Every structure is written in C-alpha cells, then in structure tokens.
Structure 1
Amino acid sequence: MARGRKRKFKPDLPAHIDQAALPRGIYWEENRWYVLVDVPGRRRPRKRTVAYADALLSELHAIVEAQKSPDTVGSLEYVCRKFRESTDYKALKPGTREDYDHHGEIACRYVLKDGALLGALPVDRMTVPGVQRLVEAIARGREASPGHDAVAPRPSTANHVLRFLRMLFNWGIRMGYCTKNPAQGVRQAKEKKDAKMPERQPFALVLAFAKERAALPLHSKGACPPYMPAVMVLAYNARLRGMEVTDLTDAHALKRGIRCNRLKGSRDNVTRWNDEMRWAWRWLRDYRAKRQDAHKRPIPLRPELRPLLVTQTGTPLARSTLKTAWQRLITAAIEANVITAAERFALHGLKHRGITDTRGGRSAKQDAAGHISPQMTDLYDHEEMEVDPPSAREDDELAFDDALETW
C-alpha cells in the first residue's frame, strides 16, 4: 500500500510533536489540528478542528483512529455499546431498553456541521455547550438543505435524548469509560403543555366510531383494527400509556383487577375491574384465540409469555403498529366528520382523561396513576377544583347582618 509522499518539515508545529511520527490524515494550521471531512452538498471537504497546540502525539493518533471507526474506545458510540452489554442494561424492562436504544441512536447518528457523526466523538471531548446545541437542534428541527431532509421540531425527543445522555455518562464514569458528564447542567427544551386530552363527547364519539369500523371485514374499505375499541377502553379505565397496553399479558389479569406495570418511573398498581374492562379483556382474549388457532400458533404455557394484544396473524402486536393504527383511526374520524380537526386527540390523551375523571382528591388521583410525585399528577389532572369559601366567625356574621339592616 502506497503511503504517499513524506511530510515536509514545518517549523511552526508544536515543539513536543515528532513530525515524522504524525499520523496520516491530520493537519496543522493556525494553532490547531484539523482533519478533512466530506460534507454532502459541498464540492470540497471541510476542515474540522479536532485538537489544539497542547495535544499529545498519542492523542492525535487516537483522534485519527476515531475518524476511521465510530466505535473507537471512549467515543459516544463505544460507551453506548458497552452500556448495552452491561448487566445494568439487561436488568431494565424491555420498554425502557427500547426507549434507551432509540434515543441513543438519535444522539449517535446526529450529523455535525462538518459532516461527522456525534457517535464518533470521544465523550471526554464533548462539552456542555456542545450538548446544549444538540438539544436545541433536535428541539428546533431542521429545514431542508443539500444532503438532508427537513425534520420537524421535536422538543420532547430532545429532552429524552438529554436524559439518556445524563444517565449514560454517569454510568460511564462509574465504569471507567469516561471521566466527565458533559450533559450535566444542560437545560431541557421547553415543551408545549398540550396533553391533547379529549373532551368527554369527542372521546365517546371516537369510541363509537372505532366500534363501528372494527366490525367491518378485515382489509375492507374504512375498516380499522378490531382490537382498537378494547385498547381505548383499557387505556382510559386503567390509565395506561399505549405501550403499557401492548405489554399486557395473561399474567396481568388478577381476580381483583388488572395489574398495571407502569413505565417511566411510575409505581405499579392494580386497577379494579369494572364492566367495560371485563368486556375489553374478554374480547381481546377471544380474538387472540381465534387468530392463533387460524394460523396454528403455539400457545405458551406461562401466562407472562401470552401477550393480550395480537395481530391478525396471531403474533404479538408491536408498539409501532398500534401507533400507526391509532393515527389512521383518528384521521378517518376527522374525515368522516365524527370530530373536528381541533378536537383531535392522542392515544396518550386517554390516560389524561382517565386520571382527570378519577373520583377523589389529588392524592387519590396520584395513587390511581402510580405517580411518584404530586407534580407529575398535576400534569395529568386537568380538573378544576371546587373549594368552599373561608368560614366566617359568628360575631362577624352578626356584624354583617347589622350592616345590612342599616343599608
């Protein structure tokens, strides 16, 4: 393999650098070390600064190696991979692992201005301002540009990425894969407090519409997945997220109610049965038996291995499939003039509706939702509290009556 011509001696290079041992692909200019990176939409490569005058020769070699493989020791991609191999990761619930994988991928695949991937950057070279710019960029979205498609603003996703990075770097410090947490001190993106909670009438109309469309033959025009009405009933009555509904198995059905395994730090609890929940559970169970029997699916003996929600082929229903089915249903309801576009609501809004409709005070709603803190319940409870006026003392009431007589 040809190594190219020998480097010329440069007197302005740092004196502690052996110029003959410099790695290929790194250059010196105006008190900085840089590499050339190809950027989509540009004819010439862009100079990307990777180090300054105090960098050691060993560090320059490590930087060049990092450009070749994003999985170099110490890079963001490397720390993410090590975390996925750890016992801490394997002890997490499947939903949490899926959430971490998704937002870790967003961070690692993020393209910097010079065309490099953030995953190739060593964690110890990341800074608080750099992570803050990452959060702001994801929250703001990206307009269409050469080599890139437009991306809608995603403040919620930006905050999820930030929380993942904070956790990842703290873990990396404990395990010795990095020495600092550049995500600590970064401010979260401001999210719109729009729960998209349905009013009672639009909720009832969409539920009736779902039952009507679910009764149509599969794949016929206007039909929606048969399981959708039951999903809406469980999400509202048990105050569940959509992904928590897809995680339900036969092991969650108890004599006294449904055991709700809640994600994102909430406490698990048991929601007592009512007639609607019994109907939804029996319908989903019977539908599963029909679809599995039609496709000759084996039935696991252990109840925790028997998911309640299945597709028409009898396989477990994926979270992404439920999200897509919901968007099609709510869009069809708007097109059929069942609700207006302004009344559109999210599947997660049914959890808001269920918590808001829960009887009792704030403490009862917090227990029903499994929230750790009252602040979280405040985000889900949209009911206006009715309070009594302060009780007046007896002598104040007499004085008030006397004043009325003089008037």
Structure 2
Amino acid sequence: MTRGRKRKFNPEIPGHIDQGSLPRGLYWEDGRWYVLDPHPEGVGRIKTTVANGKVRLSDLHAIMEGRGGGSVRGSLDHLTEIFKKASEYLDLSAKSQQGYDYCAAKACGYVLRDGRKLGQQRIEHLSVPVLQRVVETMATGRPAIGKVPAIIPTPAAANRVASYLRRLFAWGIRHGHCAANPADGIRKVREKRDARMPDHDSFEAVLRYARARAALKAHTAGSCPPYLPAVMVLAYAVRLRGIEVDTLTDANLLREGIRSNRRKGSRDNVTKWTKELRDAVRWLQAYRQERMAAHGRPTPINPEQRRLIVTESGTPLSKSALDSAWQRLIRRAMADGIIDQESRFALHGLKHRGITDSEDKASGGHVTEAMRQLYDHSVPVVKAAVKPKKDR
C-alpha cells in the first residue's frame, strides 16, 4: 500500500514532534491529536480525540497501532497479556487468577484525562507519580470531564491494583520486559472501614422477610434459598464470617455448643447452645439429608466432610453462591420496602452485631484488644469525673 501524499508542514504542531514520522490517519487541531471515525448513524465521519499536545511521537505510534487491533509491544496492555502466559501466573489458583484479571482490566482500562487508556501507555513512560495519581483517583473518585467518564471511588480495589502492578512489573524486570518497577514506590490509600452493621430492627425485619421468602416454593417469584434464615442466625449468634458459616460441618457441633472455625488468626471458641441455634442446625441437617437422598448422594461417614449448608442438589454450597444469594435477598428486601438504602447491611455485618451485643470479650476470638474494638460498636457507659477530696 502506498503511503499517500506527503504531509504539509504545520507550524502549530508541537516542536518536539517529527512531522515527517507521524503515523497515517492522525491529525492535529486546537491542541489535540484526533482521528476520523465513522459516524454512528453512517453519515460522514466524526473527530475522535486520542491524545493531547504533550505526548511523544512514540506514544502516537503506540496509539495508532493499538487502534489497529491487539496490544502494542512495550505497553502496559502487552505486559499484562504476556504475564498471563507465564508460569508464575499459571501456577496460581483459579481464584487468584480471577483476581489478577480483574486488577489488570481495571488498571489497563483506566481513562486518563486526555482520553487515552493507561494500558496504551508505554512502560518506560510510567513513573511512581503517574501510578500514585491513578491509585489515588481510583480511591477517591473523579467526576466526568467532557468525554472522560466519571470514576466511582473504590479504595479497596485501588489497593488491589497497586499490589498487582507491583508484582507485574517485578516479574517484567526478571524476564527482561521492563527495566524498572514504577509501582515499587506507590503508597497504598487508607481504606474506610465500613462494617454496615444492622440495627436490631433492621436485622429482625430482614430475618422475618427471609423466613417468609424461604417458605415459598423454590424458584418461584419472590422466593429465596431456604438456608438463608439459618445462615443469618449462625452468623449473628456464633459471630462468624460468611466463609466460616459456609464451611461449618458436623464436626463443629459439640455437646456444649458450636465450635467456630475462624480465619485470619482469630482464636476458636465454643458458643453455647440456644433454642435458636438448635433449631437452625436441626433444620440444616434435615434439609441436607432430604436433598442428598433426593439425588442419591451417600452421607459421608467422616463428620468433617458433612457440610451443614448444601445446595438444592445436596452438594456443599460455595462461598460465591452464598454471597450472590445474600445480595439478591437484600436487594429484594429494599425493593419491597423492608429496609431502606441507609439500613442496608452486609452478611459480615452480622458478626459485628453479634460481637457488639455480647458481654464476653472473648466471644469473637480476637487475639488483640485492638482487633476486638473494631468489631465492638457499643458505647461504654462511664461515670462522670469528680474532683478528689483533699486530705485534711
């Protein structure tokens, strides 16, 4: 294909750009670089800004190569793609790979103020200040600016992206794909601790609603999984995380009560039986037996293999399925006016509620007092200050 007619010299183009080396299909006007794209209605063409006047010539070539399909060698997009073929990535668990893919998409899809995506940037042009601004903008959010979309604040996701980029560039250095790690000096943002702990009225309202929805025929309009009311009782009374409720087995059921299976270094303890706990456990065991028999599944002899919470087909319930069921229940409860947006709470919030309502400081299994206080939201009642009496 012939190159076409030679460009005329344009004195308005920034001086650091070699006009004779500009890629085809790229134009300059009013301090911006643009391309001509087909009009969405099929009539004529429209101007699409792709960069501002500060970009380098290599950036412009990378942008045009990227628009032609695929990632440009040396760009962040390209580095993330070749990392996914490396043994360091392939050796990860499926869940870790899913998390890395999420971070890669979030980082590469980040839209800069000039309209370009971070994934199109060449690695050598990235620096600590650039990536620090990206992480902080993800954490604090940004309003829409012209055609640049708004960014919803997500501090936890911003920190995950920072950790991913740090590992990505470290791998790139070891394998000769980049010379430095521009994410090595990034400071993580402070994450706001949001317990979303329910008040007692909201908790009771959602529990009643869950019981009513669970009593409906499965897969009918308005129904919810029948195990959800028991999950709420266990999460609150035994003060468990969602994953800890999900993985309870018959081995956790002792004569004195329910032994926890806590994560993150917390100490296990035994919560004494109450009528509500016995009713919840008996219902789960009866439902498990019914579902396993209906699908011809044998009952495991080992109590550690008999999970309390199972699916409709009698198989152990996954944590992701529990999370999805919980979110559907809460959204439906808000739509039906059971609770409002301000009263919405997380499944993990039931652990906060349980620890706050407990008099025993060891109830949550926390190793330190500082960790316990993160879960205990009760307000202490103390005596007023009184001047000491003087000795006569």
Q: Report the TM-score when normalising by structure 1.
A: 0.66
Cα deviation for residue 103 of structure 1 reads 3.1
Query: How far apart, in 2, do the equivalents of 1:94 and 1:116 lie?
Result: 31
Matched, 1:383 2:378: yes
Greater helix share, structure number: 1
Matched, 1:45 2:48: yes
Matched, 1:140 2:141: yes
Counterpart code for 1:259: N
Counterpart code for 1:382: H
Aligned to 2:270: 272
Task: Supply the RMSD in Å over aligned alpha carbons.
Answer: 5.1
Cα deviation for residue 312 of structure 1 reads 3.1
Q: Deviations over 1:299-347 (max 9, x none)?
A: 8999998865444355665555544433443355456665565433222
Contact 1:34 1:48 in 2 (8 A): yes
Aligned to 2:287: 287
Aligned to 1:5: 4
Out of 242, 259, 268, the residue aligned to residue 257 of structure 1 is: 259
Matched, 1:325 2:328: no
Cα deviation for residue 197 of structure 1 reads 0.7
Matched, 1:368 2:370: no
Query: How far apart, in 1, do the equivalents of 2:55 and 2:323 lie?
Result: 45
Query: How far apart, in 2, do the equivalents of 1:379 and 1:283 lie?
Result: 32
SS at match of 1:270: coil
Contact 1:355 1:369 in 2 (8 A): no
Query: How far apart, in 1, do the equivalents of 2:239 and 2:341 lie?
Result: 24
Query: How far apart, in 1, do the equivalents of 2:313 and 2:23 lie?
Result: 56
Query: How far apart, in 2, do the equivalents of 1:8 and 1:297 lie?
Result: 75
Contact 1:139 1:156 in 2 (8 A): no
Q: Deviations over 1:19-64 (max 9, x none)?
A: 6xx584487989x9978486998921324268537x6xxx987776
Aligned 1:293-372 pairs, distance under 5 A = 293-295=293-295, 309-314=309-314, 317=317, 321-333=321-333, 339=339, 342-361=342-361, 364=362, 368-369=365-366
Query: How far apart, in 1, do the equivalents of 2:26 and 2:292 lie?
Result: 63
Query: How far apart, in 2, do the equivalents of 1:52 and 1:287 lie?
Result: 65
Aligned to 1:405: none
Query: How far apart, in 1, do the equivalents of 2:233 and 2:93 lie?
Result: 25
Contact 1:36 1:48 in 2 (8 A): no
Query: How far apart, in 1, do the equivalents of 2:300 and 2:72 lie?
Result: 42
Query: How far apart, in 2, do the equivalents of 1:309 and 1:333 lie?
Result: 22
Aligned 1:160-179 pairs, distance under 5 A = 160-174=160-174, 176-179=176-179
Contact 1:34 1:51 in 2 (8 A): no
Moved more, 324-333 or 300-309: 300-309
Query: How far apart, in 2, do the equivalents of 1:368 and 1:301 lie?
Result: 30
Number of equivalences: 378
Contact 1:197 1:345 in 2 (8 A): yes
Matched, 1:232 2:232: yes
SS at match of 2:379: coil
Alpha-carbon spacing, 1:43–1:340, altered in 2? closer, same or farther (3 Å): closer
Query: How far apart, in 2, do the equivalents of 1:233 and 1:37 lie?
Result: 60
Aligned 1:163-202 pairs, distance under 5 A = 163-174=163-174, 176-186=176-186, 192-202=192-202
Aligned to 2:242: 242
Aligned 1:96-111 pairs, distance under 5 A = 96-111=96-111
Query: How far apart, in 2, do the equivalents of 1:92 and 1:199 lie?
Result: 40
Moved more, 316-325 or 32-41: 32-41
Q: Deviations over 1:128-177 (max 9, x none)?
A: 443314541564255597696x7654444334433433444445445554
Contact 2:236 2:351 in 1 (8 A): yes
Counterpart code for 1:48: A
Query: How far apart, in 2, do the equivalents of 1:241 and 1:125 lie?
Result: 43
Give 5+ residue unaligned stretches, structure 1: 403-407
Query: How far apart, in 2, do the equivalents of 1:293 and 1:144 lie?
Result: 59
Q: Deviations over 1:87-111 (max 9, x none)?
A: 6556666655443333332222334
Query: How far apart, in 2, do the equivalents of 1:211 and 1:18 lie?
Result: 71
Percent of residue pairs bearing the same amino acid type: 37
Contact 2:50 2:63 in 1 (8 A): no
